[in-house]
Structure 1
Amino acid sequence: MTGTSKDAVAQPRMLVLARESRSLTQGQLAAAMSALDGPGSKISQAYISRAEAGRLAVSGERLKVHARTLEYPVELLCVTAQEFGAGAGLVHHRKKQAASAGDLKRIHAVLNLTRIQLHALLRDVPRPAGKGIPKIAVDALTTPADAARRLRAEWTSSGGPLDSVVELAEETGALVAYRKLVAPVPLDSGTESVPVDAVSCSPSGEDPLVLLNVGTPAERQRFTLAHELGHMVMHEVPHPEQEKQANSFAAELLMPARDIRAELARGQVTMSRLLALKARWKVSMWALLRRAHTLGILSDWQYRGLAVEMSSLGYRTSEPGTLESEIPTAVASMLTWHFEQGRDVAELAGRALLSPREFTDLYLRCPAPSTGTASRSLSSAVGEVTR
């Protein structure tokens, strides 16, 4: 990898990713760099623009100022496409309609940088071969529900609720992590326009990656991850109906019609019934209500009546019967292996091209298993850097 020698030169693509990951405009970065550079500095927005377009080389002291301002190691700004690939490729979001253009740029940058970090951290780590995520084209003969049923048949032989969607995703070889994508909002399950719950990519030759938004209610988390799996399975190129298709896929994966139809149709669909099914199927009451409607168990007016009742009870922001969030373990296990080999936080942060403090915040203070070796190793590693 490119070092920090006097000949080190920043890569335009990395300058853009680093800046956007910090939610800075070119003008804001120029002002911050000028303040750090001291009196008489002539760093302008035009300079940043030319540097990011590759029209001038950033090296020497100017490269160091760039890195210090963005709070990344110089090495990150010098990463080449040959070292970590061209990019994430097609990126999918769950419900991106309410996110600003600036938020989406930052989220894409965070996704790409997480790819780079995990690629480096996974090097030399022994991992069991994943099942792989099959590609299933949706067409006139194959619906999103068909794709979900095929996946269920391949991945698990049992019917009924899935024990863990995170575990299922990780068994395929996908990596799942939490990141602060946008400020979380209350449940708000009755609307289709909410901030980004997750973002995912599945670049050729790499492990699929899903970033879940920190703070997303557990009631929506499983559906969100199932939605992202739907994108990975069905969408290799953009599709105008891809969000609806991913929602249909997720509904069938989590609540297969063959199994849940009888449970929803058994007696009257009431608030107490939806709450009991929520505990069993580990999805929100809103998801169950919509499923009953799409399966024809509830008429339009019955659906609207129950939706109004749920809204009046405040269930758009908080439902009864809180669910437990599912915790990814693959990345934590990878870090545990590194620590067992005698590596410390500083070495792993260097691999990931992060400062030790940011590495700790992103990888050691993130949600982790509450028991077992991985949790103990990660806790002790956090202690090393915080003492």
Structure 2
Amino acid sequence: MAETIAVYGYRVRQARTIRHSPIKPLAQMLDMSPSAWTALERSTCTDLPRLKLRTLATRLRFPAEFFSQPPGLPIHRGSLLFRSKKSIKVAQIDALTTLAEMIVELLAALGEHATQPPLRLPMALRQDISPEEAARQTRQALDLPESEPIPHVIHTLERAGVPVAVADVDMPDARHDAFSVWGGDFHEQPLIVARPVNSWERTRWSIAHEAGHLILHRGTTGEVDEDAANRFANEFLFPADMLREEWPGAVTLTSLMPLKQRWRMSLAAIITHGKHLGLIEEHRATGLFKQLSARRDPHTGVTWRIQEPGWADLEPERPRLLAVMAERGLEQRPAPDLFTTLTGGWAPDLMEQITSGLREAPAVVQEHAKTAQSSLPSNVVTLRRA
């Protein structure tokens, strides 16, 4: 047996950053200087003593074979799209970048067995296009009638070729419910990653906001225009012509509630959208926001500004695309061990974060998968028929 094993430096970096591990203690553990560790991460491939690799894998909680697998295409950390980048630590952005790389690798692995829906986002937009016009063109591209609410935002985007993952990962702060990125050779693979929150309207708006980033800010690095993504999300969820048509004569939180319930959008977002369209004066919008901050849920004591009335009326949306690709391509239900095997060793606990955020299959699909599994020998995995 060889005394050393070739490891890829980028894999070492990925494992370290996603575990939020500082360099110095890891280097000391392997009897290396911090500069030698940095050189290891920057190397294409380095021979590492087998014992040191085992120690490294144990410390970072990764299968040892992960470090010997060629990495996929890296994602530049500057291409992650989310708000207030200047206030976020580099280590946090590195960890989220690695998470995105892991999911893109998983998509590529599943893509060998099942077809991902073709991308249908409008990409050939004018540089000077307004966020509202971009949202209208997106609705048209996705065959969404202007006069109707979007039943399921995540499902709609996944059918349009935009994978979504909901994972209980460390985001920089409470303002960051989601981020998005373009991966792949030619930035052709979009991805949205969101934290699981218990508010259905907050989830829908965050996903719509990230769709705005993907469409408006493709190829952008550094700070992005958050206001533009906000305006895109508001128009995407509630077209301006319909808002004008349904806007109440006397604007109160009570009179706006039917709009919230029909269009599945928060009161705060509706007020902001109405203010931008000139349907409500600045001082009146400010007064409504003050009311949201002053009123409290009688059961929880939380203000309406944090948790609006009706927040628990619906289940928060969850994605299904990764699960569908596993079920159709491999005739297996998504599981951490399956995804770890497919990707060549990404840690099962990280894959658990992804699988736990997936929406359950409809009962008929579950029954079909159960029947297919029971008819197979236990040691055989059937791929999709050609």
TM over 0.5: yes
How is 1:1-387 mapped onto 2 (pairs within 5 angstroms)?
8-30=5-27, 34=29, 42-54=31-43, 57-61=46-50, 62-80=52-70, 84-87=72-75, 90-94=79-83, 96=85, 99-139=88-128, 142-159=129-146, 160-182=148-170, 194-203=174-183, 204=186, 206-215=188-197, 217-238=199-220, 242-264=225-247, 266-313=248-295, 314-322=303-311, 323-340=314-331, 346=337, 348-354=339-345, 357-358=348-349, 361-369=352-360, 371-373=362-364
Greater than 6 Å deviation, 4+ residue runs: 4-7, 341-345
Contact 2:163 2:191 survives alignment (8 Å):
yes
Query: Is there any run of 5+ residues in structure 1 with no aligned partner, and where?
Result: 35-40, 186-193
Shift in alpha-carbon separation, 1:131–1:247, aligned structure 2, 3 A: same
Number of matched residues? 357
The question of whether the paired residues in 2 share the 8 Å contact of 1:184 and 1:216 is answered with no
Structure 2, unmatched stretches of 5+, are 296-302, 379-386
Letter matched to residue 245 of structure 2: A
Change (3 A) 1:253 1:6: farther
| Change in 2 beyond 3 A, CA 1:375/1:101 | farther
Which letter maps to 1:74? A
Q: Percent identity?
A: 24
SS of equivalent to 1:195: coil
Using the alignment, how far apart are the partners of 1:287 and 1:258 within structure 2?
A: 16
Determine if contact 1:98/1:195 at 8 Å carries over to the other structure: no
Alpha-carbon spacing, 1:117–1:72, altered in 2? closer, same or farther (3 Å)? farther
Root mean square deviation, CA, Å: 3.2
Give the secondary structure class of the aligned counterpart of 2:149. Answer: coil
Preserved contact between residue 72 and residue 353 of structure 1 (Cα < 8 Å): no
Instruction: Tell me the CA shift for residue 125 of structure 1.
Output: 1.5
Assess, with a 3 A threshold, how the Cα gap between structure 1 residues 356 and 85 changes in structure 2: closer, same or farther.
closer
- What is the DSSP-based 3-state SS (H/G/I as helix, E as strand, rest coil) of the residue aligned with 2:243? helix
For 2:100 and 2:205, locate their aligned partners in 1 and report how far apart those are by CA, in whole Å. Answer: 20
TM-aligned CA distance change 1:137 to 1:71, over 3 Å: farther
**Preserved contact between residue 7 and residue 68 of structure 2 (Cα < 8 Å):** yes
User: Quick one: distance in 1 between partners of 2:9 and 2:22?
Assistant: 15
State the 1:122 CA deviation.
2.4
Moved more, 107-116 or 203-212: 203-212
- Partner amino acid for 1:153? Q
Offset of residue 120 of structure 1:
1.6
TM-score, normalised with respect to structure 1: 0.81
- Alpha-carbon distance change, 88 to 132 in structure 1, aligned in 2, over 3 angstroms: farther
In 2, Cα distance between equivalents of 1:143 and 1:362: 36
